[in-house]
Amino acid sequence: MQRPDRETVFAWALFGAILVAGIARAATVAPIPSPPPAGDLDRHAVFNVLAEEERRMRRQAAKDFPADPWSQDDAFHNFEYKRARGLAGERGMPLEDVLRAADEGMHAHWPAPPGVWLNPSVPPCRPRPIH
């Protein structure tokens, strides 16, 4: 069996040192602090924002999937999730609280802003039409 040359030994030693340093750093780093739980006023406020923007998001989803209600609903919820992520960042709230506010608001029938209609139904999943 042939003995490894110096460059190979050095390369493996360097790789091992970097690996150990990375593991040590990962084991000792403090977790990212999470924002405090949202209060009732904040949750109602984000519910109102999402409710006011629902019609616009549903229209965009309908443009993307004109003949497929289930895919429209799926696309709408993707837009809603992205907006919820943005609201969580803007307001310093946990994303879970923003999503929970949207869910609780629908189930508890929180009052929506004037002129806003919320769609609580889900269309059935059918085979996608051929475009």
Residues in the chain: 131
- Residue 43 host element (H or E): helix 40-64
Indicate if 44 and 102 belong to the same structural domain.
Answer: yes
Indicate if 44 and 26 belong to the same structural domain.
Answer: no
In a domain, 76, yes or no: yes
In a domain, 122, yes or no: no
In a domain, 120, yes or no: no
Where in the sequence is the domain holding 77, given as residue range(s)? 40-107
In a domain, 84, yes or no: yes
DSSP string for residues in 68-83? -HHHHHHHHHHHHHHH
In a domain, 87, yes or no: yes
Residue type, 85: R
* pLDDT, tens digit, 9 for 90 and up, residues 7-52: 999 999 999 999 999 999 999 999 888 889 999 999 999 999 999 9
CA 78 to chain CA centroid, nearest Å: 9
Q: Which tokens is 80 given?
A: 């809603």
In a domain, 117, yes or no: no
Distance CA 29, CA 11 (A): 27
The pTM is what?
Answer: 0.72
The whole-chain average pLDDT of the chain stands at 91
